[in-house]
Homo-oligomer: A and B are copies of this chain.
């Protein structure tokens, strides 16, 4: 187990999207975060106290979380140097990067020397099954997106909060390193061996008969040429009853790929429903989640209204505006009475 509280690492980051792990922890587990570590050239903040490693230890921090997520996930020299300094100051280190801490001899040596632990959150468990696609009981919702990093984890976590607040049973199922750090369990899907993608999702969202929902965190996009395989396996493994489409309206091109335009919302929804139907023939869309953080309130409300009209689905910014319109739709579609009605027809 990773010991909290955490010191969140920003390092030299100047890419807001790149620090989403650190920010996710600050937002969804604020009680576990004592501060942030950043260098002078880091233009970002999580609005947590800026601390050196020694100050963090004095404030009670147990673990430095390397909550930066660059494509490819290399451990840079700077990162290793900082992690060693943190170890020497008395902190464990947790990382969600592709490259493992355990593969960096200088880190392993420093941890051994000082009696500290290294946590690689992106190590999947070794007993993943092959997916079967067999129909299983329970209600499952999956967030899908036009692109990577458009708010799928946020939307899913906001839905968990919102559904619980309205008396529904709902459990977040994490598929990425930030989600796993927040939820305490899950599968780091991008690190799973390709043959086991759908099986890993079947494993973390098994059959349930309590009328509760598994809310599965989506990954990637069917329209991202680097990662669409992950998204496809996730759709098949999730066997989702409901999809929520997530989108960043100010994204200019596919993340990391200036030569790829963003797909349209209707096109994205249609493609996801088509792929999802292989294992869940009656899957339906129940809402659209926009990240409107770069828009004014008026712009955001207008955009949500227009998007809702265009797609015939409730549309909201889950973080800024809440998720009630989507929950209303979920209840309308999946309340026991409407499910019986569906079966009767």
Contacts and interface: CB of A to CB of B under 8 A. Distances in A.
A133 B232 CA distance: 17
Interface stretch (A13-21, A29-37, A222-230, A286-294): A222-230
A186 to B, nearest CB: 15
A130 B191 contact: no
B194 A225 contact: no
Contacts of A260: 133
Contacts of A71: 130
A263 to B, nearest CB: 9
Interface in A108-156: 129-135
A13 to B, nearest CB: 19
B226 A232 contact: no
B195 A193 contact: no
A98 B226 CA distance: 24
A72 B131 CA distance: 10
A251 B141 CA distance: 33
Number of copies: 2
Interface residues of A, number: 40
A254 to B, nearest CB: 8
A226 B195 contact: yes
A131 B230 CA distance: 13
A278 interface: yes
A236 B230 contact: no
A199 interface: yes
A226 B232 CA distance: 10
Contacts of A321: none
A190 B191 contact: no
Interface string A51-91: 00000000000000000000110000000000000000000
Contacts of A163: none
Contacts of A223: 278
A72 B130 contact: yes
Most buried by B among A189, A193, A279: A193
Most buried by B among A222, A227, A234: A227
15 contacts: A72-B130, A98-B195, A133-B257, A133-B260, A135-B259, A191-B193, A193-B194, A194-B194, A194-B230, A195-B226, A225-B278, A228-B275, A229-B231, A230-B233, A232-B233
Interface of A: 71-72, 98, 129-135, 189-195, 197-199, 222-223, 225-234, 236-237, 257, 259-260, 275, 278-279
9 closest pairs, A vs B, by CB? Answer: A229-B233, A133-B225, A190-B195, A232-B232, A229-B229, A197-B229, A131-B226, A229-B232, A225-B236
Given A228-B275, A229-B234, 17 more contacts: A131-B225, A133-B226, A133-B257, A134-B259, A189-B194, A190-B195, A192-B194, A194-B197, A194-B230, A195-B227, A197-B230, A198-B228, A222-B232, A225-B237, A225-B278, A229-B230, A229-B233
